[in-house]
Structure formats: structure tokens, C-alpha cells
């Protein structure tokens, strides 16, 4: 092999490696703006549900956490099958769509499947789901943060001393998976702790189910409307942060601690000042305690 050929092959190899590094370091953002136009939340939500179903998504549930906002939760085979391949992958077995009235426009947005898959350390980054969400709803831009690479998302925590994905809160423990699911269903139906059911998705081939929950109660710091009123203050709304999740995995019920769960979706939120984590300092424990009650656990 002559020197010229060697140089060409070396150049090709170097370019290939560079592209791989750039792909891994591409900055991902938590939310995708699908559209922004005049209309009503009801009409836009109905249209979104129809489009999502036409693109292979199942509607797992929906709710309105506060006026002029509807959250739609969807799942599909790729999400559920990918969730089955990793520990606590059930947290990523669904994606969230928000329809929000802002001024004269209605914003339709959704969680970025690639961002969430990496943040939840799933076995794949849900490429089909991302394409189908785009086909169903559109994609104007990603938003919600300056952006994080996939590698940083897989080891994400907000700052020193705060929780990682693999440090969830233990909410309750039962004799079996079946007993745990039955108890959670009953408690959510009764609204214990101010927590009610939005959806449930079962992970195939595993004794694991994720419950999306609405939170509204006497303690304002666990209330969806209160928390979002502090942190969701920018022009493009991040309402698809909701709802929170509880995961029944085997005979245990767990949840991502709010210092991780909120920070994953709002990684650029300041620690102090107006519209900061300091303003909801009591929320992580208030949310955990409400979820413990909803899970049937004990402090």
C-alpha cells in the first residue's frame, strides 16, 4: 500500500471518528415545539390525539393540571419494548404531549424522546418514536435548555449532593407485584395524598408498571399548578413536564426524587432568585411524602 492510499484511508478514518464524536456530543433539549397557532385547547388537543393515533401511538391518558392546559400521554411498542430492556426503564415507557394556551396562540409541544431515553438510561434512544412524533405533530424547534449531550444525560444530576436516576425514592413494598399494583390502583382512585391516576402503562415481559399521577392537595408545594407556576415561566411552555410518575417494579413502588425529576426537565433553572429551585425548595419532600401516601407506604 503506497503512502498516498494510506493518507486517504487515515483521513477517512479520522473523519468517521469525528462524526461519531460529534453525534454523541450533539446537544439535546428536553422539549419539542410542534406548532404554535390560533385556536382552542380543546380543538388542538382533539386534533393531536387523532394525529398521534394515526401514527401508531396509543393514548394512555390525559388530564388538565390547570386551566388552558391539557396533557396527553402516549405510548407505543418501541417505548414499551425498549423500557423492558433496562432497569427501571418503565419511567420511559410513555411520552407526554402538552397543549397550552399562551396569549392568542395555542402551543403544542412534547417531550423529546431522545433526551428522555438518555436521561432515563434506556437501552435505546427511541428513534422510531421521535420520527413518529414529528410526523404526527410536527417539529419547529427543540427547547427548554441550552442542551446536554447523550453521555451527560446518562449520568445527569443537577449538582453535587443531588440525586441521580439510579437513586429513586422507595415509596412502599408489598408481598408481590400483583398486590402492589392493586394497592396503587385503589389508593389513586381514592385520591390519597391528593394524588390521582392519569395513566398506567405495563412494561411487557416484566412485572413493572408505570403510573402517571396528578397532584393537587392541601400542601401547595406538591401541587402541579403551584410548582409549574414558579418554574414554567418562559414564553415557550414546558407543561409536558407533567405528570409525575410512580413505578411498580416487582413488589416495590418507587419514584424518581423530585430534585432529579424536575432538574432533568429544567436543567438550566437557577438555584436562587426569582423562578428558581429555591422558590420550590419544599417541593421535593412534599412530592415524595404525597407519593408515599398514594403508594400505601409509611414514613
Q: What are the tens digits of pLDDT across the range 82-106?
A: 999 999 999 999 999 999 999 999 9
Whether 2 has a pLDDT exceeding 60, the answer reads no
Q: Element (H or E) spanning 252, and its range?
A: strand 252-255
- Give the other-Cβ count within 10 Å of 7's Cβ: 10
Which residue's C-alpha cell is 473523519? Answer: 15
- Give the other-Cβ count within 10 Å of 10's Cβ: 10
Is the CB of residue 106 less than 8 Å from the CB of residue 236? no
Exposed/middle/buried for residue 54 (C-beta within 10 Å: 0-12, 13-18, 19+): exposed
Going by C-alpha positions, the residue among 75, 67, 100, 293 that lies closest to residue 198 is 75
Is the CB of residue 197 less than 8 Å from the CB of residue 185? yes
Whether 233 has a pLDDT exceeding 70, the answer reads yes
Q: How confident is the model at residue 7 (pLDDT cuts 50, 70, 90)?
A: very low
Domains and CATH numbers, the chain: 27-295 (3.30.310.70)
pTM score: 0.90
Scored b (16 or more CB within 10 A) or e, 161-182 reads eebebeebbebbbbeebeebbe
CA distance 198 to 243: 8
Alpha-carbon torsion, ordered 162, 167, 171, 172, to 10 deg: -160
Q: What are the tens digits of pLDDT across the range 130-146?
A: 999 999 999 999 999 99
Is the CB of residue 19 less than 8 Å from the CB of residue 98? no
Whether 278 has a pLDDT exceeding 50, the answer reads yes
Q: What are the tens digits of pLDDT across the range 142-173?
A: 999 999 999 999 999 999 889 999 999 999 99
Angle at 42 between CA 80 and CA 40, to 5 degrees: 125
Higher-scoring residue by pLDDT: 220, 15: 220
Q: Which three cell numbers stand for residue 88?
A: 427501571
Going by C-alpha positions, the residue among 281, 297, 269 that lies closest to residue 172 is 297
SS (H, E, C) 75-127: ECHHHHHHHCCCCCHHHHCCEEEEEEEECCEEEEEEECHHHHHHHCCCCCCCH
Q: What is the sign, positive or negative, of the torsion defined by CA atoms of 254, 260, 266, 270? A: positive
Q: Element (H or E) spanning 204, and its range?
A: none
Amino acid at each position: 500500500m503506497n503512502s498516498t492510499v494510506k493518507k486517504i484511508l487515515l483521513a477517512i478514518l479520522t473523519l468517521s471518528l469525528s462524526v461519531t464524536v460529534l453525534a454523541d456530543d450533539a446537544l439535546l433539549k428536553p422539549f419539542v415545539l410542534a406548532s404554535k397557532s390560533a385556536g382552542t385547547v380543546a380543538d388542538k388537543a382533539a386534533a393531536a390525539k387523532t394525529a398521534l393515533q394515526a401514527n401508531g401511538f396509543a393514548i394512555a391518558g390525559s388530564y388538565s393540571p390547570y386551566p388552558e392546559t391539557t396533557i396527553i400521554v402516549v405510548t407505543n411498542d418501541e417505548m414499551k419494548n425498549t423500557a423492558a430492556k433496562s432497569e427501571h426503564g418503565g419511567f420511559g415507557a410513555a411520552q407526554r404531549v402538552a397543549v397550552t394556551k399562551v396569549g392568542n396562540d395555542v402551543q403544542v409541544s412534547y417531550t423529546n424522546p431522545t433526551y428522555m431515553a438518555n436521561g432515563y438510561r434506556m437501552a435505546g434512544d427511541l428513534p422510531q418514536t421521535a420520527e413518529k412524533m414529528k410526523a404526527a405533530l410536527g417539529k419547529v424547534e427543540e427547547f427548554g435548555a441550552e442542551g446536554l449531550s447523550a453521555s451527560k444525560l446518562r449520568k445527569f444530576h443537577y449538582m453535587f449532593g443531588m440525586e441521580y436516576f439510579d437513586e429513586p425514592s422507595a415509596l412502599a413494598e408489598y408481598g408481590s407485584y400483583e398486590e402492589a399494583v392493586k394497592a396503587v390502583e385503589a389508593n389513586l382512585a381514592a385520591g390519597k395524598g391528593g394524588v390521582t391516576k392519569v395513566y398506567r402503562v405495563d412494561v411487557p415481559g416484566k412485572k413493572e408498571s408505570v403510573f402517571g399521577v396528578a397532584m393537587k392537595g392541601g400542601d401547595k408545594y406538591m401541587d402541579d399548578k403551584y410548582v409549574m407556576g414558579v418554574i414554567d415561566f418562559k414564553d415557550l411552555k414546558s407543561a409536558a413536564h407533567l405528570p409525575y410518575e410512580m413505578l411498580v417494579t416487582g413488589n416495590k413502588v418507587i419514584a424518581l426524587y423530585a430534585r432529579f425529576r424536575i432538574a432533568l426537565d429544567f436543567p438550566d433553572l437557577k438555584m436562587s432568585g426569582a423562578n428558581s429551585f429555591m422558590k420550590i425548595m419544599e417541593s421535593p419532600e412534599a412530592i415524595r411524602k404525597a407519593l408515599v401516601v398514594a403508594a400505601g407506604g409509611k414514613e
